[in-house]
Structure 1
Amino acid sequence: MRTALEDELCFPQLGNTSCRKSQHSHPIATSMLLTVIALITVTLNLLVIISIAHFKQLQTTTNLLLLSLATSDTFVGFLMLFQISLLGGCWFLGDLMCIVYFIGDHFVTSASIGSMVLISIDRYMAICDPLGYTIKVTKSRVNIAVFICWFESFFLNCLFAINQLKQPARFKKCVGNCEVVVPYTVGMTDLLISFIGPIAVIVVLYMNVFAAAASQSRAMRSHVRSTTLRIAIIKSSELKAARTLGVVVVVFITCIMPYFCIVITGQDVVLNASYAAFIICLFYFNSCLNPLIYAILYPWFRRSIKIIVTLQILKPDSSQINIMINM
């Protein structure tokens, strides 16, 4: 007959070498909530991916960057399922998979931030250099930039975790836990490369974007030369996209900042997923918010969802539908 102590262990047969289960106050309710968020995240981001990939009219340079962001958000939804399994405080997939999970989590995070940087650069070019935008920002260059972003994110995160991959159980305290010890120097380097640097670039670029927007607004109000007014009108549509993506960026920074701030809280930070649930889930929830922002601020996304849900997407030549009508 099992004792009370055995019920608290992840692996009762291992005795004292087993980790204890987490004393989470509402594990079932939290698991159900995270499951719903994960399903919504995957579903909505898949709708973004299908919309941009299917409808030819949506395959603009800016939307290709949104496609990259939606792809990383979809992976976040799947990774959330691992987080749900950790709410009980026990990891049953082995030491190697624990390291792979954390690498994947950081990889997706880095790819998301990289996509945000590319989106900021795109908006900066569109607003501050409208005449050179179509020449300098092409689909081929955007695809190359997205590939470099994802490859660099994967390479750097594998490089940072190479010692952990060689010895997955090096810092293991008991059987059944999943934690990664990040040395302070590695954590600070990752913080600078993956967060502080990119966020600084995003903030500077958007400050320039909205400074240019304010200048254009003054020019339109004063009705200066017709050529100046014409340029301002051309860029007003780009400004609308910049404002929408600016909301996405602000929400992203708000949600992801606590996740990176834990790196600088000590000499050796132990990132235990079960104890850092709130911080990690806050980042996960951001991936659910992005497509909701698109649905509120992008008419084309609402229209594409309607076409997909009603299965009109299965009709011949549906990819040629004028999805941007009345915009």
Structure 2
Amino acid sequence: MSSSPGIKRREHVDMMYISIETAIALASVMGNVLVVLAVCVNRTLRNTTFCFIVSLAVADIAVGVLVIPLAIIISLGFNTEFYTCLFLSCLLLIITQSSILSLLAIAIDRYLRVKIPTMYSTIVTQRRAYVAVCLCWILSFLTGLVPMIGWNNRNVQGNLSSSSSIVCEFTAVMRMDYMVYFNFFGWVVVPLSVMIALYAEIFRVIRRQLNRRAEATCDAERYYRKELKLAKSLALVVFLFAVCWLPIHIMNCIDFFCPTCSIPKFAMYVGIFMSHVNSALNPMVYAFRIKMFRDTLIKITRRCMLCKPTEPTPCPTGTPALTEKVDVKLQQ
């Protein structure tokens, strides 16, 4: 008995989807593991900014290890209990939220660095950076698990018993008003708007300082030029996040505000792919835009793949002035 063409085409689409998602997952995990390794290997990268970058890298690793496999499983429509499906869907939101909060923490960190450079090291300590990272993840879990306490589609599914099973799909368990009003407007648009304002102010302050050539010393000019270069790189990360994540959120808004509008399934797949690809792009930005990070990756590659020894990176010690110089050096 031959199978129908429709079933074969469906299987072909599923295989293409799974293949692309698997490739994205591998690129995301490998690239962001290198980010974490680079910070572990190079002690001069262990400052507050890279503490938040590591937090972002961990979230991107989770995308490759958890989010993409879960997205594949959910796309295949397996049967499970309602709250099991809801919890799996919430995990996707938690990882996304941790990414945007890490980006916001990076923007605040860079803003303080250029706004109050003389007081920065006393206000933004390593311990406070660790606390900020923990708060980002705790807040991500709290906001991502909101549907578990009632803001979900259980009532839409009818009178389900604890043992009743449903076809697990994201839209079957997640309410779209939560996705639009709470998740998108509240926890994506607002943080992105704050980040845009912060980076605009960062560039304004740096440009103003660089234009004061008569008053600025050579060290001050060098400091702000390096800050400008790093700020551009991190602003690019924010821009890529917005470009990759806004399409899927915009389609959610169209689906919510215009129920009669039809969104092609191909467009939804593209939006999902773009949101996942974002996790693989960040390591490329660091590698191409931050010299110290790029040099560290080259050393890791030489040691692990070419079996060539690398010289140990000295740990910054000494007076506060010397420590500040080393800290500034990482942004070359």
TM-score (norm 1): 0.80
Q: 1:205 deviation in Å? A: 0.4
What is the DSSP-based 3-state SS (H/G/I as helix, E as strand, rest coil) of the residue aligned with 2:157?
coil
Cα 1:318/1:102, change in 2 over 3 Å: farther
1:128 aligns with 2:121: no
Identify the match of residue 90 of structure 2 among 80, 103, 118.
103
- Between stretches 198-207 and 181-190, larger displacement belongs to 181-190
d(CA) in 2 for partners of 1:198 and 1:51? 28
Q: 1:184 deviation in Å? A: 2.0
Count of paired positions: 308
**Aligned counterpart, 1:192:** 185
Identify the match of residue 271 of structure 2 among 271, 279, 290.
279
1:304 aligns with 2:296: yes
Q: 1:111 deviation in Å? A: 0.6
What is the DSSP-based 3-state SS (H/G/I as helix, E as strand, rest coil) of the residue aligned with 1:161?
helix
**Aligned counterpart, 1:288:** 280
Cα 1:185/1:310, change in 2 over 3 Å: closer
1:250 aligns with 2:239: yes
Cα 1:100/1:310, change in 2 over 3 Å: farther
RMSD, matched Cα: 3.8
d(CA) in 2 for partners of 1:304 and 1:93? 45
- Between stretches 152-161 and 274-283, larger displacement belongs to 274-283
d(CA) in 2 for partners of 1:145 and 1:286? 23
Identify the match of residue 147 of structure 1 among 111, 134, 139.
134
1:224 aligns with 2:214: yes
- Among the aligned pairs, what percent are the same residue? 23
Q: 1:109 deviation in Å? A: 0.7
d(CA) in 2 for partners of 1:143 and 1:321? 20
Conserved? CA contact 2:82–2:154, under 8 Å = no
TM-score (norm 2): 0.79
d(CA) in 1 for partners of 2:125 and 2:188? 27
d(CA) in 1 for partners of 2:331 and 2:111? 26
Conserved? CA contact 1:41–1:287, under 8 Å = yes
What is the DSSP-based 3-state SS (H/G/I as helix, E as strand, rest coil) of the residue aligned with 1:29?
helix
Specify every segment of 5 or more residues in structure 1 that has no aligned partner in the other structure, as ranges: 9-20
Identify the match of residue 215 of structure 1 among 188, 203, 208.
208
Q: 1:245 deviation in Å? A: 0.6
Identify the match of residue 167 of structure 2 among 172, 176, 179.
176
Q: 1:31 deviation in Å? A: 2.3
Residues 138-178 of structure 1: CA deviation (Å, up to 9, x unaligned): 11111111111110110121123322789599379994341
d(CA) in 1 for partners of 2:266 and 2:149? 23
- Between stretches 276-285 and 247-256, larger displacement belongs to 276-285
**Aligned counterpart, 1:53:** 40
Q: 1:130 deviation in Å? A: 1.3
